[in-house]
Amino acid sequence: MDPLTERSRPRWGRLLKRVLAIVVGAGAAIVVLLLLVSADARYVARAGIEEARILLRRRSIEKILADSSVPAALRQRLRLVLEARRYAADSLGLAVGGTYTTYVDVGRDTLLLVLSASRRDKLREVSWTFPIVGVVPYKGFFSAERARRAGRELDAQGLDVYLRPSGAFSTLGYFSDPLFSTAMSRDTMELVATVIHELAHNTLYVKSQTPFNESFASFVGYRGAEAFFRARHDTLDARRAAARWRDERTLDVFYAELARRLDSAYAEPLSGDRVEQVRTTLFGWARDQFRGPVGQSLETYDLRWFAQAPINNAVIIAERLYRMNLNLFDEIYLQNNADISETIRAIQIRVFTQAGDPYQALYSRPGMKVED
């Protein structure tokens, strides 16, 4: 009979370490492979690194306010931001989290450049897909050189391209977004509207629905700023916020009509020369509108900028992202007795409880007068 041998107990700790090493190694290999073969993966990784560098430079606004060596003008603006943030939370019901409790001096006048593109013969945007936000019709670049290079690559493909600066961005509340120095050059009304606009993204964001998300945030930003300044008995900035919102609605109607005319013209079979003739005619009409009735009706914008600014399909798509069906939001606002906080809640409830297109969810509310 063979002698009995005692088996050693399994070394679970060592085994677990080996399994973890295999998992981590496989994960690293997958990441490296994605970075090698996917331009989008490289873009996300690079953007993440750039954003992390910015976030590491955050300073507490409360500590800055307590520092007497900080210029008084900056401290005054930062106090206004904290007051707007508090109002957004307490009176508007927005989800503020840790957003705008810190400040970052980015050391330049432009935080990032945003790239949009479209076909030349159709109002059809180029889109990109990213985690969390879904499909979006633009890309942001912290590096101006990379932004211009990407723009040149799209231009070489025969696309319309639009590159514009942005002084803010939102992580939708996933991180405690800081206030950037690039926002401090804005006047007090625009600064408050920007703060409330970005906090609106924290509160309601529908994946892959950029026009709705941005237009909703524009509505909340300007209507919210108007309410904020009225609560402070600052009638001047309250009136300016109301006037800016009227301008936004005017531009919404204008760009919608321009898009309708372009879609109608592009729907016909067009040769290359004919496409250029159509574009020249309709873009000329748009400039005439800015020099004439549309520009002259604007209360807060410099009509000369619109008359001289570049215009192409990508520009029109980008401008409409922030101004689409704005009268719809105002209709709900009036239904809720011009109470912005009640309007925000009504929109949230409707969008969250009705699956599908958020605009259609709002248009189908009982009693709506605005037609789709």
Q: What is the pLDDT of residues 196-209, one digit of tens each?
A: 999 999 999 999 99
Could you tell me which of 25, 47, 44 has the C-alpha nearest to residue 34? 44
CA distance 33 to 44: 14
DSSP state of 93: -
Question: In which residue are the tokens 């996917």 written?
Answer: 38
Can you give the pLDDT at residue 12?
A: 55
Would you say 103 and 82 are in contact if contact means Cβ atoms under 8 Å apart? no
At residue 103, φ and ψ (nearest 5 deg) are -135, 145
Confidence of residue 20 (pLDDT cuts 50, 70, 90): low
Residues 6+ positions from 165 with CB-CB distance below 8 Å: 110, 111, 112, 113, 114
Strand ranges (DSSP E) for the chain?
59-60, 102-104, 112-118, 128-130, 134-136, 139-141, 160-166, 179-180
User: Sign of dihedral through CA atoms 39, 44, 49, 53?
Assistant: positive
CA distance 166 to 315: 15
pLDDT tens-place string over residues 104-150: 998 888 888 999 999 999 999 999 988 777 889 999 998 899 999 99
pLDDT tens-place string over residues 165-193: 987 778 777 778 899 999 998 999 999 99
What SS3 state is found at 88? helix
* 16 pLDDT more than 60: no
Can you give the pLDDT at residue 210?
A: 94
pLDDT tens-place string over residues 354-363: 988 999 999 9
What SS3 state is found at 160? strand
Bridge partners of 112?
A: 166
Could you tell me which of 207, 169, 217, 202 has the C-alpha nearest to residue 89? 202
* Pairing relationship of beta strands 160-166 and 59-60 according to DSSP bridges: unpaired
Confidence of residue 35 (pLDDT cuts 50, 70, 90): very low
Average pLDDT score over residue span 203-220:
96
Could you tell me which of 354, 355, 353, 332 has the C-alpha nearest to residue 344? 332
* 314 pLDDT more than 80: yes
pLDDT tens-place string over residues 73-116: 999 999 999 999 999 999 999 999 999 999 999 888 888 899 99
Count Cβ neighbours within 10 Å for each residue of 312-344 and write b for 16 or more, e otherwise.
Answer: bbbbbbbbbbbbbbbebbbbbbebbeeebbebb
> Looking at per-residue confidence, does 277 or 3 come out higher?
277
Confidence of residue 300 (pLDDT cuts 50, 70, 90): very high
> Looking at per-residue confidence, does 196 or 30 come out higher?
196
At residue 162, φ and ψ (nearest 5 deg) are -140, 120
Confidence of residue 342 (pLDDT cuts 50, 70, 90): very high
